[in-house]
Structures are given as C-alpha cells and as structure tokens.
Amino acid sequence: MKDRDIPLSLLDLVPIGQGFTPQDALKNSTRLAQAAEQSGFLRYWVAEHHNLIDIASAATSVVLSHIGANTSTIRLGSGGIMLPNHAPLMVAEQFGTLESFYPGRIDLGLGRAPGTDMATLRALRRDLTGNGLDFPEMLTELQGYLAPLQRQQRIKAIPGAGLAIPLWLLGSSTYSAQLAAARGLPLAFAAHFAPDAMSAAIATYRDHFKPSAQLSEPYVIVCVNAVAAETQREAEYLATTELQKFLNLGRGIDTLLPEPVEEMDRLWHPMEARQIRHQLRESAWGTGPQVSQQLRELAVRTGADEVMINSWIHDPEARIDSHQRIAAAWFDA
C-alpha cells in the first residue's frame, strides 16, 4: 500500500511556547490548520487539557468552531473530549452545533481520562467518585442524544439529535480498545506518549470488534510525535523541545513549551534520558522523506488504517514547515 492510500492527519494541543501568549498559540494553530488543509491532511483534531500553562486547547469545541470558520474541507474533531468532565447532553449539543455549522466535517473523539489534576477536577465540578468507571454509561447516554429523536423523548439535544456525528474512542491502554470493539467504534491509539500498550490494544480491538451501525470493520488511527526539517540534524535539534516537554512532565514542572537546545545531557540525568527515549521511541524525526518512511513502517507494523501526527515544536513557522514537509513526502511517495 502506498502512502497516498493511508490518510494522514494531525493532532494539535495548541502549544504555548516560551515568549508566546495563549492568543498567539490560538492564532498559530489556526494557521497550522490552514496549512494542513492545503497540504492534504484528512483531519485536524484538538485535545482537551486543563490547568496546563503550555496548552491552550481547554475549550476544545470553541477552538474547533474557530478553526472551522477559517478552513473549508479538512475534518475537525476532538482528540479528545474527556467525557467524564462533562454532562453528555452538553457534549451532544456542542458537537451538534459544530456539525450544524460545518456539515460532514466533525468527528467526536472521546477519552475517559480527566486531562488534568485532582484540584482542577473539583474546579470543573466533576463527580470525583466515579474515577471514569461510569464511562460506558456516559457513552451510552451520549449516543442516545445523538441518535434520531424518538416519540415522546423528553430530553433532546438540539442541535445534535439525528446528525450521525462519528464517535471515536481514544486509548492509551487496552480499556478503550475493548470498549471500542464492543461498541463497534473506531479507535485512535495514543502512541505519542503510551507506546508500551500499543500492540496489545490494537490486537485486542481487532480480535473482539463487533460491527455497528457506524462501522462495519475495525478502523485504527495510530498517533505519534513527528518533527521534520531540512536536515536530520535540524530535526533532532527541534525535537529537543519534545524531549524537554516530557522531562518537565516527569519532574512535575509546569512551564511554557521550551525553546530547543543544542545539548540535552546538561538538562537530564542518564536514567531520565533512558526513560524518556523509551517512552518516545515511536517519535519520527528527520527530513520529510525520512519521517514519511518511518510513518510508513509504523503503519505496516501496526496495520494502522490512518496515521496521525502530533508535534512539540517551539517555533510556529518551523511547526508549519514540518507538517508541510511530511505531507509532501507522504503524498509524493
């Protein structure tokens, strides 16, 4: 199978780099989405996170509405909405509104993780007793609001009901893979930060998949980090921002997305270096053709139906350039 036969999509957490503001980040992500549309990417997804100083995508549906108004063909979606943070009715109404604005372009990806810390969960007014265990019930409730209206149905999602918005389950373990298989929903796996469970999750999903009204056969997106530049050396330099991001996460340091550095060894201990490189082992860094080749190999190895890339690149121009280089190589292969 050639690259052009496998869709290429992107995940954006709307990163706020050192020297930038949230307003800058939102403007930069709008430009990225426009460039991605022109380059042939199928989807542009935004992830919900809260109380993180370097991520501006907390109001996910609002971000998607703005992106939709500034693009015309690329699919827009959540990668994802953390369903336990919300009332399913409100999610149905918000994404029903998006689908009404941008018909046939909206994906609703769902996760069960909170996307934040316990103190922020309280601020979100989330029920702290559930711990995500009620996720299947919340999913059923959401599906009910998005289904065609039934006679004498008391609670309705307007807009939302009957719009057939595609639902996706996001996963970093086998839990969502099992649920996606049981419900006949497509699966997007987060190999950009949880590669250890990737093979088991995809195998579980494919082995136990049951067809549904939405999906007749299994469908898997694999998401990985990617950085492309003119040279391998330049890409590896830009990717030190990604390494620092995960170093700070591991140390519990909340800071703006750092600028790249020439040398990582002065920033981390050898054990940290081993742990982070292991966690990021699926990341693809290099020239456009080199990254495209790595992504092609990933698709073959996992049987992925679609590849999605995330990037932690400090310079907004370099981030746009990276996506353009990857797409050019991907679609020219």
Question: pLDDT tens digit string along 288-333?
Answer: 999 999 999 999 999 999 999 999 999 999 999 999 999 999 999 7
Query: How confident is residue 2, by pLDDT bands cut at 50, 70 and 90?
Result: very low
* 3-class DSSP assignment, residue 105: coil
> What is the pLDDT averaged over residues 130-157?
90
- Is the pLDDT assigned to residue 226 strictly greater than 80? yes
Question: What pLDDT is recorded for position 115?
Answer: 56
Backbone angles phi, psi at 154, to 5 degrees: -80, -45
> What is the pLDDT averaged over residues 96-114?
95
> What is the pLDDT averaged over residues 47-67?
97
Instruction: State the CB neighbour count (10 A cutoff) for residue 9.
Output: 22
- Is the pLDDT assigned to residue 126 strictly greater than 70? no
Domains defined along the chain, listed by start: 3-332 (3.20.20.30)
CA distance 182 to 90: 25
Q: Which of 141, 164, 286, 151 is nearest to 227 (CA)?
A: 286
Query: How confident is residue 5, by pLDDT bands cut at 50, 70 and 90?
Result: confident
pLDDT in tens, 234-287: 999 999 999 999 999 999 999 999 999 999 999 999 999 999 999 999 999 999
CA distance 250 to 243: 11
Please indicate whether residue 97 or residue 119 has the higher confidence score (pLDDT): 97
> What is the pLDDT averaged over residues 148-161?
94
Query: How confident is residue 199, by pLDDT bands cut at 50, 70 and 90?
Result: very high
- Is the pLDDT assigned to residue 145 strictly greater than 80? yes
Contact call for residues 112 and 82 (beta carbons, < 8 A): yes
Question: What pLDDT is recorded for position 202?
Answer: 98
Question: What pLDDT is recorded for position 1?
Answer: 40
**Percent of the residues in the chain that have a pLDDT greater than 70, as a whole number:** 95
Contact call for residues 242 and 227 (beta carbons, < 8 A): yes
